[in-house]
Structure 1
């Protein structure tokens, strides 16, 4: 069936695999996407939502680069919220509640409309490596399919083991079998593997809930969207989510099952996500708290299925049911399925290059949970980058690598490669030292030109970005050049308890005050006239507002980034012998030999490499 040699084979069709396949195919590579189930492409295995704190920035970046996640999220959203709006724009994070069934359907349809992309449904049981180079994959039927590059995006399926109380059984997620053979092939090839754990809450029947006892959570009054393209539109109507709380009674019932919990009786030895703990872990770690929030999230427009966010658990199903029935609003709850935990194989990501190509095997790429991350958005961004770089590799071109000051995706990959992870890695705004530059509103400015250069972002996407940039820059110049009188400004300044001006001043200076917001700016007749004359949309207006109000912070952060980027220019030879530098600390020598940083800047971010070690390296590099 497979006589041809594919340019790129992608194994797994979750969020990472779907983005990888789309990127490679759209860059002109003949691509094959192999999955155990074509019905479950881009399945939302856990919560039915995309985006959130830092994650929303990643989805915007994926879209700016030409990926599909933002478009699919917009087309299948049932609610939109911009989180952290009360804080500065570096913290604003878009999030959508999604229709789970429509999300997977839309992803499949978009992939099926993608040129150069073939599909095959079967379990991949191994990889074929010859002379340190990947040459293809082997399926459970014994079929060998050849390729110039392979991207592994196996999610939680590698030797997956599901736990519910004292029961355990093999599986990649509920109702689907685990994948066997790939880990063993990679370990034989010299890779180091480990085990991680994640979990998911019970799904319940929404008809059995009493929403009158819960706190309603509405979507934004004027909802935005993820994609910068016009092919999607903001929501006209939205579905509400709800919030309720556990109680001391609920905690006491949960504790009754601790002796049968795989987390506490030693069955689960691997680490789960620190920032998304199970409910039993929460009440154990935070014993002083007498309640925890639960977010009640509909799984779609029309389905009765509801996701109980915050109640992830691997406790016995009878304990889950009894405890949840003691939550306010859940007194008559009916389960559709219990929550469970899952253990799976991963490969410490220090074994990768920044292109996500493995150091051991030429042409082999890892993306997603196989690298020790958690979250759809983190997985999708890695898949996108792996697909891009696999395609560039086949074309004989240099890899595409994003820096820490260019994208959250760059921060994510650099953290993984440089520091590694022993627990599921999740992105936060606090992980990005240049988050004022890496805002959700300017991802297209930052990344679309770069993506266009490598052949992924379309010319239409680039022209839209340029139009938006030119319009916002012109609007900012208008503020710099236009004066506002005392009569115009002081009534608004007084209402905002801001000091009055004593003479006419430039709008830029007046509008940069922290008390003045966009609604205030739009009250000025000169601004209204400019907006109307130039037909500016809200996206351009908000972009200009951010540039005016935060110009000082943005400029300072650019300067800091430029200083650090100078260390990126100091390259370290791939075969550099660190053992000869006796003035390096022992830990630094070991870490540097293991990770093999490409630049002094990367070396400086390795845990255990001190500033004095960096100074020693700089001296030996002739700096």
Structure 2
């Protein structure tokens, strides 16, 4: 092996959403970092939906931003439609989503990578890992050229043994038109990593000039954009509408009559499909009573005529995709620019990972993104940030970075993966988070920016702004609790007009704000501050006052949760010698190797009685 003269602290394999965040985190923490990509013209590519965020996914993007990551900034800079979802529900599930110009997103992210100090970009297909004495020491590319390092983050996306399926056609590719990484997948298996197969896919892209929009329902962007990044101030691009249509009985029949030509149903594809983003073949089979399904037509950018059709993912041959698409009202003359396809790929069972996303099999080897069995750009970016931080900390000899389930959606996701594993593509949901009222999009900076500052990921000015904003919120809450609003004709008229009970005696302003009909605008009308507060402060004040009782209750639940999390299980803890455990539970504990009683309690099948047995054994062990 011919080696590069430069030795890197950290090497990141892959430049998708996980790879970009991993490399930036490591470099920003002062470590010499190399990012190796098969094609540098596809950095931060959006091979499926040209969008960021959505329910719970938006929470991850905000957390990545609060930790000094780049996805939120790049999304805001390339957004051609801003939407806030679930606004009729409580603030815990309010979620931001953007439709993005995928080329501007790519160029924005690549420019950031190229300008980042300590970060080096090289094009190359990694063929194998170099492991010496159980520790990774480098990687070798397809030419036999080697790169030395102290830690490797693999963020290979769908490229490990990737197979693209379009009808009977089967192509070795990581994405349509791109090389797959077969050598690296084999190298990982040689290191003893247990791997499986998963499947995802993407719908056809249509020419926008061949669509009859009069038959579709137009949806415009929000009037006031809600940004992902706390540093964003304006939307630089024009805001474009999306369109909603519906499939027909003819659409379904084309699929049902031709399942023998679908690799998903004729036995060609072996990978497990995503439950929450099914192909149309799955919809036709699994929802037989549904004649029609919603499709969303979204522009892929401001300078392209390609339209993405969410809801039409399929693996049919092209000669069937044409009538399949044209069976939908408004698509009768539609021209397919790129056909839809399915792709299956290798992934690593994530129970083989430590909480840092380092493998237990190979020291210094970290995994992030779809390689861990997840789906989605946002899940990938959050894991990339997590793995990049921990790779940098390991090389630096510092303590690892791990969030628990009460601190962030990132913590929920990583804990789910390493504790329960996944047999199907994992997707984050607000329902997965037990403490979601405390982990809202709007308070991600208050939860995480101080940690990011300690790690060296955000600068002094950023953390100062967060501290000042938190102080302003506390001051305003204290003020409205102390202000008593007395009954008067003007006050009672205002309250009556808002559909709430007039006052008979003086009432503290915070109690009025707690009423369902009231928002912070009531404060400005009835007890305005001498100096108006900024909108972000007002929003936080309203949430914290209105939901004070629920927040206090959840804080108490978190304290109970943290009790078990604090009881650590040593890395050499021998589950074989613990009496009172069934063989099944003992096998699960050995497979996952939980780091705390809290994590052990979340393993599928582990009972409260088993936790009690572990606690007794641990106390006896410590007493000896």
User: Is 1:573 aligned with 2:570?
Assistant: yes
| CA deviation vs aligned residue, 1:81-100 (integer Å, no higher than 9, x gap) | 11001100001001111001
The alpha carbon displacement at 1:312 in A equals 0.8
1:189 to 163, 188, 191: 191
Larger deviation: 578-587 or 145-154? 578-587
Cα distance between partner residues in 1 of 2:312 and 2:188: 35
Contact 1:212 1:329 in 2 (8 A): yes
Match of 2:81 in 1: 79
Larger deviation: 547-556 or 485-494? 485-494
| CA deviation vs aligned residue, 1:485-512 (integer Å, no higher than 9, x gap) | 2335433432343333321101101111
The alpha carbon displacement at 1:525 in A equals 4.8
2:54 to 48, 52, 64: 52
Match of 2:72 in 1: 70
Cα distance between partner residues in 2 of 1:560 and 1:252: 51
Pairwise CA RMSD of aligned residues?
Answer: 1.3
User: Is 1:20 aligned with 2:22?
Assistant: yes
| CA deviation vs aligned residue, 1:116-146 (integer Å, no higher than 9, x gap) | 0111101000100000000000000000110
Contact 2:509 2:527 in 1 (8 A): no
Match of 2:133 in 1: 131
Cα distance between partner residues in 1 of 2:491 and 2:419: 51
Match of 1:536 in 2: 533
Match of 2:579 in 1: 582
Superposition map of 1:58-457 within 5 A: 58-230=60-232, 232-234=233-235, 237-457=238-458
Cα distance between partner residues in 2 of 1:595 and 1:236: 47
Match of 2:551 in 1: 554
Cα distance between partner residues in 1 of 2:608 and 2:375: 31
Indicate the SS of the match to 2:179: coil
Larger deviation: 420-429 or 576-585? 576-585
Indicate the SS of the match to 2:412: helix
| CA deviation vs aligned residue, 1:100-124 (integer Å, no higher than 9, x gap) | 1100000000111100011110100
TM-score normalised by length of structure 1? 0.97
Cα distance between partner residues in 1 of 2:315 and 2:564: 46
Cα distance between partner residues in 1 of 2:506 and 2:295: 53
Name stretches of at least 5 consecutive residues in structure 1 with no aligned partner: none
Larger deviation: 159-168 or 468-477? 468-477
Match of 2:44 in 1: 42
Contact 2:208 2:305 in 1 (8 A): yes
TM-score normalised by length of structure 2? 0.97
Contact 1:445 1:469 in 2 (8 A): yes
Indicate the SS of the match to 1:136: strand
Cα distance between partner residues in 1 of 2:406 and 2:458: 20
Cα distance between partner residues in 2 of 1:490 and 1:352: 61
Indicate the SS of the match to 1:336: strand
Cα distance between partner residues in 1 of 2:460 and 2:311: 43
Cα distance between partner residues in 1 of 2:445 and 2:565: 24
The alpha carbon displacement at 1:526 in A equals 2.9
| CA deviation vs aligned residue, 1:55-106 (integer Å, no higher than 9, x gap) | 0010000000000000000111111111001100001001111001100000
Cα distance between partner residues in 2 of 1:25 and 1:376: 21
| CA deviation vs aligned residue, 1:357-379 (integer Å, no higher than 9, x gap) | 11111111000000000000000
Cα distance between partner residues in 2 of 1:403 and 1:483: 40
Cα distance between partner residues in 2 of 1:396 and 1:6: 16
User: Is 1:494 aligned with 2:491?
Assistant: no
Larger deviation: 290-299 or 311-320? 311-320
1:33 to 32, 35, 59: 35
Name stretches of at least 5 consecutive residues in structure 2 with no aligned partner: none
Cα distance between partner residues in 1 of 2:267 and 2:502: 66
Question: Are residues 554 and 235 of structure 1, via their aligned partners in 2, closer, same or farther at CA, if it must alter by over 3 Å?
Answer: farther
Contact 1:223 1:235 in 2 (8 A): no
Indicate the SS of the match to 1:456: coil
Cα distance between partner residues in 2 of 1:319 and 1:5: 52
Cα distance between partner residues in 2 of 1:85 and 1:520: 19
Cα distance between partner residues in 2 of 1:20 and 1:297: 29
Larger deviation: 567-576 or 421-430? 567-576
Cα distance between partner residues in 1 of 2:471 and 2:61: 24
Cα distance between partner residues in 1 of 2:327 and 2:281: 15
Question: Are residues 234 and 505 of structure 1, via their aligned partners in 2, closer, same or farther at CA, if it must alter by over 3 Å?
Answer: farther
Match of 1:618 in 2: 615
Larger deviation: 482-491 or 38-47? 482-491
Contact 1:205 1:336 in 2 (8 A): yes
Contact 1:14 1:43 in 2 (8 A): yes
2:13 to 11, 14, 18: 11
| CA deviation vs aligned residue, 1:271-321 (integer Å, no higher than 9, x gap) | 111101011101211111111110111011231110001111111222221
